[in-house]
Structure 1
């Protein structure tokens, strides 16, 4: 039975508890207001240091010219992985392979081909997101998880990786393993001119926010500035240097109590938290609303990604749509044509419209 969140905005229960459920560490961390704000902004900013990813981003320029749409769709997908029901999320993961089949080409710095479905690229995106969400929670939220809870969190991260083309076995299961992964990535990432420009662009949360009346613009400026400072403060110095970002240690320290208090207040009211999510990503609200409002699903059931694929008839992402992906490669690398947008069009009912 649907209930009303805001006027004319019904909240419909999910079909099931998804892949994690209410007792998971994932739900606890990802449902805190730090996650889909600072945490997610940090993730999409840090991701741009991957030369293959920034080449794919530059190919379409959608992040620059349709930032709100791109952010909205991406945030909705990650929220679906954490909170969505298994049927919808498995379908979204499958169609995302077709969407990513468009993001192929030749990386200009190395001359190597890139493919957004490449397992290493997908692992970078996946771990950057899960690490950033947790780091924001620890820095501006309730604090560090216990050792047992952190171990569960990374085990759940590996479950989430089953919805990507990467190998879940490559997901580190400890904080030390995560640190080693990012240290190992340092020689493979680069703060190119394109990466630095896009990172600065994405640190401007205003491009993801809706237009507001003139009287509210000063408040929006303050929120935007605070998010930028808070996000940069979570980035290590070597990464800031690579990205061409400068920020004093005074700001790093000063922003912490401000953000901790702000997020603590927001966490006291699920409706306020949903309002904030709606400002950044309207299509994500139906995904997270049942969880934040405590609306039980139709079935109190969780499934593994493998069980969901078997039930609903989908291939593993790494094995999905091979014929379509080969056709896209032929168009780009053999025929010199633009890849087909069919996957993007097909994804709109699932991940949100491209029109905004």
Structure 2
């Protein structure tokens, strides 16, 4: 767990969030890459359309470590990277998601990973899960003003997905209303339950055997699994067939608060953890940890970045590719092409 000897390059600019922003405060806490991301990806599967998109690729079963690393890397980039990197990444993701289309088997309706409602669901579950785990296992609840600022900044992040930033809730009440509106649409087939249990046990698969003490993997997995479950609403547990006592919820919450307080003061430990599970995330977060000022210490808006780098809003990007994919899948009954996947490896790492 030694400090990295690799020279850390400063970012080009501050990206879209200032060093003192609530976004960096919450996403920079160690609960984010641990329970936060696990909770988000687990809850997301209750959307039958998203489940179909993920289940059909088999990626969460065949290469979960890669999927986890890419997810952490993307969210970390939005919070901590520079405007050019984030803008490019958002553009590439539209191409990647163009491949995730098909027929949802339960309803028989079409699904599309670039659908604005699906993208909003992914965004909100991600940001809410990171906030929930921060407040549950971290320093405590944010003030109402901080929460409103957090969701206002989430609306900025929405501009890098195909959803409408105006649809992002802006306070605790609106967030609760959003999830209540979604509740009748939540569904859990056998495939959903299998996937959710698989993701909750993902730590033992994500943490590589090499370089990780033998007993650490099962212990870490048990703690992360139980802590994540402790944050799940009862109705979601029931859908997913997840059982855990209230006493376990209380005990694991207390234990994890102590652990996270220790880890939060131990940057070398977090550096070691990210270095083994998501190494391409380290250069993104390290300048924030070190308080390293970027080359150009400014914060941009998404509009300014698109104008500067020549990108289109994600909702309007790569419409030709998306149309070709739809024609292949729905008209020609072929598998979608790999447009965007090869290109993504340069930014997000190898697929396998």
Q: TM-score band, normalised by the shorter chain?
A: over 0.9
Q: Distance between the aligned counterparts of 1:180 and 1:20, measured in 2?
A: 26
| 2:153 aligned residue | 156
Deviations 1:261-299 (A, max 9, x none): 111111112222121222332221111111112221111
For 1:1-356, list aligned pairs within 5 A.
5-7=3-5, 9-204=6-201, 205-212=203-210, 216-355=213-352
Q: Distance between the aligned counterparts of 1:279 and 1:126, measured in 2?
A: 26
Deviations 1:70-101 (A, max 9, x none): 11111111111111100000000011000000
Structure 1 segments of 4+ aligned residues over 6 angstroms from their partners: none
Deviations 1:7-59 (A, max 9, x none): 4x432211111101102100011101011111111001110110000000111
What is the DSSP-based 3-state SS (H/G/I as helix, E as strand, rest coil) of the residue aligned with 1:105?
A: strand
Q: Distance between the aligned counterparts of 1:287 and 1:5, measured in 2?
A: 16
Q: Distance between the aligned counterparts of 2:63 and 2:127, measured in 1?
A: 24
Shift, 1:5, TM fit: 4.8
Q: Distance between the aligned counterparts of 1:92 and 1:219, measured in 2?
A: 33
The 8 Å contact of residues 155 and 173 in structure 1, kept in 2 or not, is answered as yes
What is the DSSP-based 3-state SS (H/G/I as helix, E as strand, rest coil) of the residue aligned with 2:7?
A: strand
Q: Distance between the aligned counterparts of 1:92 and 1:258, measured in 2?
A: 37
Shift, 1:218, TM fit: 1.4
Structure 1 stretch 318-327 or stretch 262-271: which is displaced more? 262-271
Pairwise CA RMSD of aligned residues? Answer: 1.3
Shift, 1:257, TM fit: 1.8
Deviations 1:289-342 (A, max 9, x none): 111122211111110111111110000000000011101111111111111112
Deviations 1:206-254 (A, max 9, x none): 12111146x9221221111000000000001111001110001111000
Deviations 1:128-175 (A, max 9, x none): 000000000000000000111111001001111011100000001010
Structure 1 stretch 97-106 or stretch 66-75: which is displaced more? 66-75
The 8 Å contact of residues 270 and 293 in structure 1, kept in 2 or not, is answered as no
Q: Distance between the aligned counterparts of 1:352 and 1:182, measured in 2?
A: 33
Where structure 1 has 5 or more consecutive residues not aligned to the other structure, the ranges are none
Shift, 1:106, TM fit: 0.3
Q: Distance between the aligned counterparts of 2:75 and 2:230, measured in 1?
A: 23
